[in-house]
């Protein structure tokens, strides 16, 4: 591979078994990186089945590997191909390594999983480490309940992997909210590599006028979003029940089901909403940011990307977090509520009494925005990522190999 080239390259890996969280985070980071550096290209490796539905900036592209999905019993199966999961994983691993070999990135950013899905990224890590390529692990602010994460990472032998491969660990959050690796015994050498960036600020794309939005005036409607929607039925059902029992004081609302909500559930919810004059529904919008920017307030489950958008667009928010299969949303929501950034409503509250949800929605319209709380560095994530990336991109290959040898000594 050439030791000199003017145009820098970053490869981002995201395993993407289900949902939108990993893909949307990686896409936002990629866009920010190319916006900050005109001589940079970013390639995203993803298993998301809907990655092609999103727009990508110039100098950002993607390679989709065969999809997999995790069943409720913890087993993985191929998403679309009728082949054994081991064959699918072998294909994925080969595509990832071959892409990295040819693309020859100046940096690799791995999202969340140190070795990727079932270890599929290890051959790529070995290849790029031998070239002196900086290897970065990116972690969201909250991974899971510490005891559950400790058990999971012990099973995956993740801590030695951090020490062996990764030059830095970027935490896309702040320690005031959460230490994502709390409860895990980390060597001091690994702790020193952890850098808290702050949350990843989002920006609204150009607004798109649609007949649906024409009767939802700016700042006068609630936006309800369960993220990808694959486990958002309870939230949507509860909000619709509140409007079905509405005494007349609730504001207009737009419910976005999400691309992974089952079609029959979407159809049933849409039929209920059609009987409610204040309720509008859509399946999904890949530019959810412009909807959030227009809304008066947000009701959500509190995944990482939605939380970043709530902070970025400074929207009062009611979070109804899930507690299974992970406590990630619950931990984030509770800590953010303690700091005064959002309010939280338990999904177990009195069997989801519609009167409780209606009262919470009315209070939400009077709730102060997150900016009422001053937390230094809260939304510095993108600027921090750009600065950290530029540092590593500034090293030539020979210098990176010397740094690698010094670290491994």
Give Cα 279 distance to the centre of its chain.
Answer: 27
Taken in order 283, 334, 368, 32, the sign of the CA dihedral is: negative
Residue keyed to tokens 């949800």: 357
CB atoms within 10 A of CB 405: 10
* Spatial separation of the C-alpha atoms in residues 371 and 316, rounded to whole Å: 9
3-state helix, strand and coil shares in percent for the chain, rounded to the nearest 5: 40, 15, 45
Tokens of 85: 């999961």
Contact between residue 292 and residue 223 where contact means Cβ atoms under 8 Å apart:
yes
| C-alpha of 257 from chain center | 17
Mean pLDDT, the chain, integer:
89
pLDDT digits 0-9 by tens, 239-292: 999 999 986 789 999 999 988 899 999 999 999 999 999 999 998 877 788 889
Q: What domains lie within the chain, and their CATH numbers? A: 8-201+379-408 (3.40.50.2000), 211-372 (3.40.50.2000)
- Residue 211: which residues within 8 A CB-CB, separation 6 or more? none
Class of residue 372 by CB neighbours under 10 A (exposed 0-12, middle 13-18, buried 19+): exposed
H-run or E-run covering 109: strand 107-111
Do 239 and 253 form a contact (C-beta atoms < 8 A)?
Answer: yes
Model confidence pLDDT, tens digit, residues 25-73: 999 999 999 999 999 999 999 988 888 888 899 999 999 999 887 766 6
Confirm whether pTM is higher than 0.85: yes
- Would you call 100 helix, strand, or coil by DSSP? helix
């Amino acid at each position: 591979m050439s030791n000199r080239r003017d145009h820098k390259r970053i490869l981002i890996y995201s395993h993407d078994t289900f949902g939108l969280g990993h893909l949307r985070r990686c896409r936002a980071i990629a866009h920010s990186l190319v916006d900050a550096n005109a001589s940079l290209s970013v390639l995203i490796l993803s298993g998301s089945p809907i990655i092609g539905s999103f727009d990508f900036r110039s100098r950002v592209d993607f390679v989709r590997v065969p999809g997999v999905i995790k069943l409720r019993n913890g087993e993985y199966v191929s998403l679309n191909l009728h082949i054994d999961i081991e064959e699918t994983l072998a294909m994925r691993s080969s595509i990832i390594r071959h892409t990295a070999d040819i693309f020859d990135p100046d940096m690799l950013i791995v999202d969340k999983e140190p070795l990727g899905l079932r270890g599929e990224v290890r051959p790529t890590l070995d290849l790029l480490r031998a070239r002196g390529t900086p290897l970065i692990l990116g972690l969201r602010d909250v991974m899971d309940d510490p005891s559950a994460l400790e058990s999971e990472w012990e099973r995956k032998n993740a801590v030695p992997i951090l020490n062996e491969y990764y030059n830095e660990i970027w935490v896309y959050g702040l320690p005031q909210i959460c230490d994502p690796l709390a409860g895990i015994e980390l060597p001091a050498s690994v702790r020193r590599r952890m850098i808290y960036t702050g949350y990843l600020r989002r920006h609204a794309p150009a607004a798109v006028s649609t007949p649906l939005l024409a009767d939802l005036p700016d700042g006068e409607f609630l936006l309800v979003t369960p993220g990808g929607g694959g486990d958002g039925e309870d939230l949507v059902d509860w909000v619709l029940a509140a409007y079905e029992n509405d005494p007349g004081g609730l504001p207009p609302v737009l419910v976005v089901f999400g691309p992974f909500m089952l079609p029959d559930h979407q159809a049933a919810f849409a039929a209920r909403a059609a009987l409610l004059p204040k309720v509008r529904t859509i399946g999904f919008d890949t530019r959810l940011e412009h909807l959030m920017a227009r809304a008066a307030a947000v009701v959500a489950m509190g995944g990482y990307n939605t939380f970043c958008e709530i902070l970025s667009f400074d929207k009062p928010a009611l979070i109804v977090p899930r507690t299974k299969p992970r406590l990630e949303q619950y931990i984030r929501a509770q800590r953010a509520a303690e700091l005064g950034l959002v309010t939280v409503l338990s999904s177990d509250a009195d069997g989801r009494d519609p009167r409780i949800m209606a009262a919470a929605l009315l209070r939400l319209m009077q709730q102060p925005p997150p900016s009422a709380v001053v937390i230094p560095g809260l939304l510095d994530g993108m600027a921090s990522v750009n600065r950290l990336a530029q540092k590593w991109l500034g090293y030539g290959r020979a210098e990176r190999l010397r740094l690698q040898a010094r670290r491994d000594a």
